[in-house]
Structure 1
Amino acid sequence: MRPRTKLHHAILALSNSLPEVTKHQRAYAFKHCLQHIGYRNKKGISCLDCGHTWAGPKVGNKITCPSCKTKLTIEDTLKRKFDQVRKYMSVLDVRIDYQVVRIFELSSYHKVGETPLQYFREVVQQFFQVDGNMHVVARNRGHMGNYDNFHGDLEIRGTDGWHGNKFDLWTDKTYPKFKVLPVFARNGYTYPVHEVSSYKILKGILRSAKSETLIKAGQIGLLEACVSNRENDIYRYWNSIKIAIRNNIIIQPENVITWLDYLALLQYFDKDLNSPRYLFPADLKSAHDQLVVKKQKVQKLREAERRRREAIEMQEAYESAKKAFFGLAFTNGTITIKVLESVPEFAEEGLKLHHCIFTNEYFKKEKSLILSARIDGKPVETIEVALDEMKIKQSRGLQNLPTPHHNDILKLVRKNLPVIRKVYRETKSVAA
């Protein structure tokens, strides 16, 4: 929209003073935000980064392209095209007393034997001060119900209500050379934090001592959980987290959700959450899965009748919270993804796939939507979508492992996030 106030004009002036993106920033984005793939068939290996084709080894899944020297992940396939779209990188800068988060969108279209077509543009600029006030200069996001696309010019945009979330993106990478206001450096933001919303992290380390502690301790996975929809778990298990910090044990980002679920299981069995013996098993997945099985047996042998009575009440609460999503389903012809519509479905899904979707009562998570990916009517993976962020939090198959269909499932869910977002917005409008 057109600037209407002196403040709007001042923000636009600051926006225009920002430097042009550098070739090093572009190169970093394409190197670190994209996958680097080589397709192998009977004729040889094709690098999708530069188009070079050569006769390479017939086995192995890692190789370096002899032409562009890029380290490639090899796929044995007859496919000839590979598209990577809507990847995001943030660049942090400072203008006067404003912290600036610049977000760039990149897309890359690959074809065997050809140089890829690649696009890079700035889509969002967030200007905010330490008091929390934020102003956005951005391209308009969304058209005809599709909120994944940006269009138009960089202009002042509204930041109230839904629009505030609309222009706050979780980026794949943060450019490692950045500037932050002194207060943020004091509170721990001295190194790049990837795969997060920079605005949420910066705001979090100002307002939450726990977020500040986590970033200073290098617990990036737990920090992401703290500023997203797992904040309650961080507070609930804070004493256990402090023990991890004191013992210099980093909970890796890919293990955070499993570890927090594992702590919930330990608490269920009245284990000592202050004991490193229980908190940090040598094989986290195995320890988690064993407790899931144990809890399932307890529920089956000792609590079956109570669960049946509770299921009636839980079903009513679940329907009340998620009924607007019932009937929502989409398919790519092979995989069908549907919303779980009853508490017994959660129990059945958890039993068949041997994970904790029912035992840890995911049907009670107000800001999560749980979907089931099925092939021929049989569940293969269970997906959790964070409704407030419109982000896939996890997708787990048998015993919490990804299946061969994992990437196709994620792609199908991401493609239909606008449909879920539309229903979510309608429910919020009715509630208001």
Structure 2
Amino acid sequence: MRVLLSTYGTRGDVEPLVALAVRLRELGAEVRMCTPPDEEFAARLAGVGVGLVPVGPPVKEMMRGKTLPSAADLARYRDELVETQFGAFPAAFDGCDVVLAAGLGQVAARSVAESLGIPYLYVSYAAVHLPSPHHAPPPRPGWPEPEAAGNAARWEFDARNVDAQFGAALARHRAALGLPAVDNVRDHIITDHPWLAADPVLGPWQETPGLDVVQTGAWTLPDDRPLPADLTRFLDAGDPPVYVGFGSMSPAEGVGAMAVEAIRAQGHRVLVSRGWADLDLLDDGDDCFAVGEANHQNLFPRVAAVVHHGGAGTTLTAARAGAPQVVVPLQLSDNPYWAGRVAALDLGAALDARETTAETLGVALKTALSPETRERARSLAGRLRTDGAEVAARRLTGELR
């Protein structure tokens, strides 16, 4: 069996598919993956023996800026990505038995798979990306914010935005492939039978008419890499520090420095993850330490709390470690959704990055560092699944054999 996995985005978009690829290979499947051409992704896939098909421009440099590109630049970027996909996907998909795509940016995947007679599946990593009256659509950078009240009206507005961005290009390419036009680009990409690769306790799906969602659990792999020696020495030298990191994102202006200030004000040591933004938040104090790449599965059980941006992977790893969380999300994608889930489950606190101050961070940290929050976080950790990628791989191979 030959499987094509495809996504475009940051590390949080790629890593779940890496986990699925590893489990599929263990079941004897051949796997190739379409991702951005960033060196980090190429090295990651080579390390697990998965062939990379680079599609689109590198992502890392765009994400390192203090702000996202303008709406006009994002629109042009998305249009160029669609053209690149329709150019690259036919050869990449050739000979595959199934195509699985992740993310709304996979505009060409279903059409190319359809033209080649290959089954197509769509996966989301967070319930908020799937249309439902139970939640509003996620923020999509560069597109107008909905003025309508009510989730149903907001989802209709969201569909119009997607059609305005991608509709003409998709219609043109489908006509060239001899395929009929589609009425709703977003729902065409998602299908009416999407998969949800999220933990059912941390990010549950609520039944929605018209969508038959398969929730497999989150797609992750065990990570037994040791922590760097200098990081281990810092951890051993005192009480557990509070971790501050924003992954592939650049935090809102001043938020990182305010977090360090608020943590120190409460007498805690600080561990800063540089991330893709290459954060430089430290002075000469011996109560602070900066780290680059590190194994979060080994690290988070050793910290007092995790301050982060609300990425799906960071939220899940902190929850599995039983670490309280303070989420300061950008108004981007699923970040606000995961912030809301942390708050709803009383695993810590969530703030709005646009209104965050050192004072509000201090209050949020007091909530997260309380014994009651720590106990709730530890209790929830034992209820989270770790077999999502295996479940998905077995379902995928079993359905198609």
Q: Could you say whether these structures have the same fold, taking a TM-score greater than 0.5 normalized by the shorter chain as the test?
A: no
Asked which structure has the greater CA Rg, the reply is 1
Greater per-residue strand proportion:
1
Please report the TM-score for the alignment, with normalisation by the length of structure 2: 0.26
Larger RCO, structure (CA 8 Å, separation 6 or more):
2
Please report the TM-score for the alignment, with normalisation by the length of structure 1: 0.25
